[in-house]
Chains A and B, each alone.
Chain A
Amino acid sequence: MIDRDPFELLRRMNPIRHARLEAGDDALLERIVTSAVPAPTPIAPPASHPSRRIRTIVLVGGLSAVVLATAAFTFLRTGNADNPTQIDCHRTADLQSDRDVRPNIGDPVAACNAPWTNGLFGTNGPPELHACVGSDNTIEVFPGDLDVCARLGLTRQDTASNASAAQLDQLSTRLAADFRNACVGQNDALADTNQVISDVGLTGWTVKLEQPYSTSRPCTAFIIDPAAKVVTIGGRLDITS
C-alpha cells in the first residue's frame, strides 16, 4: 500500500466532480442578472492577471525601501488602498500581531471598534486607532498615535474619502425602496440616484449606466460599488406586476 502515491489516491477520491446543479440555482441566476440586488460586502477579487500581481510586488518592495529612507515624508502622506475590500484590525502596533479581519463597508477605524468592545481584544472600548494602507491591498488598523503607520513603514489611509457604513446603508436602503418594488425608467432612475447620493452626503460618487433599457427591460436594477464609489444602474425585467 505504501508504494502507491497518496496524492493520486486523494485525487481519485474527488467528490467535487460529481457535484450537480441544485434546486434553486436557476432562480439565483435569474435574481442576480435581473433584479435589483445591491452588491454584497465588497470583497477583494483575486488578481486575474499574474503579470499585474508581479508589478504590484515590485512596487511594494521598492516602496518599502523609500519609506524607510524618508520616514519624515511618509508621515505626512496619506493614500488609499487601491482595492480596500477588507480591514485587518490589529491588537497591537505590530504587523504580526493578532488581528480581526472585517469587511470594509465604510470607515475602517469605526469598523475596528468592534473587537475592542466585543471581548476579542477587550471590552473597555477602543484605544486611539489609525488606518494604514497595507502591502496587500488591505487596510490595516493599529492602536497608537498619528505616527503609527509611518513607524510600521506604511502610509496612512485617507479615511476622509471613505463613505461611512451608515451612509452606505442609507444609500442601499433608499435605492432599494425606490427601484425594487416599482418600475422606474432610465431618466428618472438617473435623477433619483444622483439625488439619493447627494441626500446621504456622499461625495465623489458617480452613477454609471451599464445595461441598456429596452421595451423588455424598462425598469431599474442597481449595484453599489463602494470601492469604486460608483452606483451602476441598468435595465431589468418588469417583475413588479
Chain B
Amino acid sequence: MTSETRGGTAREHSFSLMYNRFIAPVRSQVRLWVSESEVDEIVSATFLTAWSRFDEIDDTTEKAWLLGVARNHCRNNARSHRRTRALVEAIEAMRPITEEEPFGDGVDPSDIVPVMTALESMDEDLQEILILAAWHELSPAEIAITLSISSNAARVRLHRARNVFVSKYRRVLSREDGQS
C-alpha cells in the first residue's frame, strides 16, 4: 500500500482497516468453497463489492457480511464446479508461511483424523454452517447474515449440524475402536 493510499480519504482509510482485518479469513473460507484457481477472483470480487457498498455495511457484522458476499460470488461464479479437493487438502492450503501447526494450538494429533473425517462426511450445507460457527466464531445471528436466512433458521440449522457432527464423530470413533 502506498503512502498516498494511507493518507487518502476517510472512506479509504476505514475500508483499508476492514480489508486488512478480514481478507485472510475471507480467503481461507473461499478456499473451502471453490477450487484454488478461483480463489483470487472471488476474493477480489468480494472486496470490490464491499468497496462499492461500503457505506451499507454494519460495522458490527462486517465479517459475516463479507462472507455472505463471498459466498454469493462463489454460488454465481463457480456453482457448476464446486470444491474439487478434499476438505483436509483445502485446509492444508491455508497453512501459513511460518511453520505453525495448521490445526491450532494444543490439539492432540490423534484427534485430528476422527474430527476431520466426521466433518468431511457431512452434507456441505451443514459442514458450512458448522465451520462458520466453529472457525469463524460467528453467532447464529451473524450466520443468518452470511447465509441470507433468518436467525431462527440459522439457530435450528446449527443445532442440527452439531448433532449430526457429534453422531458422525462417534461413529468414526466406534469404527476405530472396532478395528483396534
A22 to B79, CA, bound (A): 26
Within 19-56 of B, Cβ neighbours of A (below 8 Å) are at 19-20, 23-25, 27-29, 40, 43-45, 47-49, 51-53, 56
Whether A43 pairs with B130 at a CB distance below 8 angstroms is no
Closest to B92 in A: A15
Whether A43 pairs with B47 at a CB distance below 8 angstroms is no
Contact of A10 among B65, B95, B134 (CB under 8 A): B134
Q: How many of B's residues come within 8 Å of A, CB to CB?
A: 79
Whether A55 is near chain B, meaning CB under 8 Å from some CB there, is no
Whether A7 pairs with B162 at a CB distance below 8 angstroms is yes
Q: How large is the interface on A (under 10, 10 to 19, 20 to 34, 35 or more residues)?
A: 35 or more
Whether A16 pairs with B135 at a CB distance below 8 angstroms is yes
Q: What per-residue 1/0 map shows which CB atoms of A21-43 lie under 8 Å from chain B?
A: 11011101110111001011101
Closest to A85 in B: B72
Whether A29 pairs with B48 at a CB distance below 8 angstroms is no
A30 to B19, CA, bound (A): 11
A86 to B9, CA, bound (A): 32
Whether B8 pairs with A33 at a CB distance below 8 angstroms is yes
Q: Which residues of A sit under 8 angstroms from B53, Cβ to Cβ?
A: 45
| Nearest CB of chain B from residue A136's CB, rounded to whole Å | 7
| Nearest CB of chain A from residue B53's CB, rounded to whole Å | 6
Q: What per-residue 1/0 map shows which CB atoms of A1-22 lie under 8 Å from chain B?
A: 1100011011111111111111
A78 to B87, CA, bound (A): 45
Given A12-B106, A20-B96, A46 and B148 contact (CB-CB distance below 8 Å): yes
Whether A16 pairs with B94 at a CB distance below 8 angstroms is yes
Whether A97 is near chain B, meaning CB under 8 Å from some CB there, is no
Contact of A1 among B24, B56, B173 (CB under 8 A): B173
Whether B104 pairs with A17 at a CB distance below 8 angstroms is yes
Whether A10 pairs with B148 at a CB distance below 8 angstroms is no
Given A20-B97, A45-B68, A11 and B76 contact (CB-CB distance below 8 Å): no
Q: Which residues of A sit under 8 angstroms from B98, Cβ to Cβ?
A: 20
Q: Which residues of A sit under 8 angstroms from B19, Cβ to Cβ?
A: 29, 32
A-B contacts counted at CB < 8 A amount to 183
A34 to B115, CA, bound (A): 44
| Nearest CB of chain B from residue A74's CB, rounded to whole Å | 25
Contact of B115 among A10, A15, A20, A29 (CB under 8 A): A10
Whether B5 pairs with A48 at a CB distance below 8 angstroms is no
Whether A50 pairs with B165 at a CB distance below 8 angstroms is no
Whether A32 pairs with B23 at a CB distance below 8 angstroms is no
Q: What per-residue 1/0 map shows which CB atoms of A69-86 lie under 8 Å from chain B?
A: 000000000000000011
Given A40-B49, A101-B79, A211-B9, A21 and B58 contact (CB-CB distance below 8 Å): no
Whether B145 pairs with A48 at a CB distance below 8 angstroms is yes
Contact of A33 among B44, B51, B77, B112 (CB under 8 A): B51
| Nearest CB of chain A from residue B73's CB, rounded to whole Å | 6
Closest to B75 in A: A101
A15 to B136, CA, bound (A): 10
Whether B28 pairs with A223 at a CB distance below 8 angstroms is no
Whether B5 pairs with A34 at a CB distance below 8 angstroms is yes
Whether B106 pairs with A6 at a CB distance below 8 angstroms is no
Whether A237 is near chain B, meaning CB under 8 Å from some CB there, is yes
| Nearest CB of chain A from residue B40's CB, rounded to whole Å | 8
Q: What per-residue 1/0 map shows which CB atoms of A215-238 lie under 8 Å from chain B?
A: 010000001010000001000010
A interface residue numbers (CB < 8 A to B) = 1-2, 6-7, 9-22, 24-26, 28-30, 32-34, 37, 39-41, 43-50, 53, 57, 85-86, 101-103, 136, 211-212, 216, 223, 225, 232, 237
Extra 19 A-B pairs, beta carbons < 8 Å, given A11-B135, A33-B12 = A10-B135, A13-B104, A13-B107, A13-B115, A15-B28, A15-B94, A19-B28, A26-B1, A28-B44, A32-B15, A32-B19, A32-B51, A33-B16, A39-B48, A41-B77, A44-B72, A45-B53, A46-B68, A48-B57
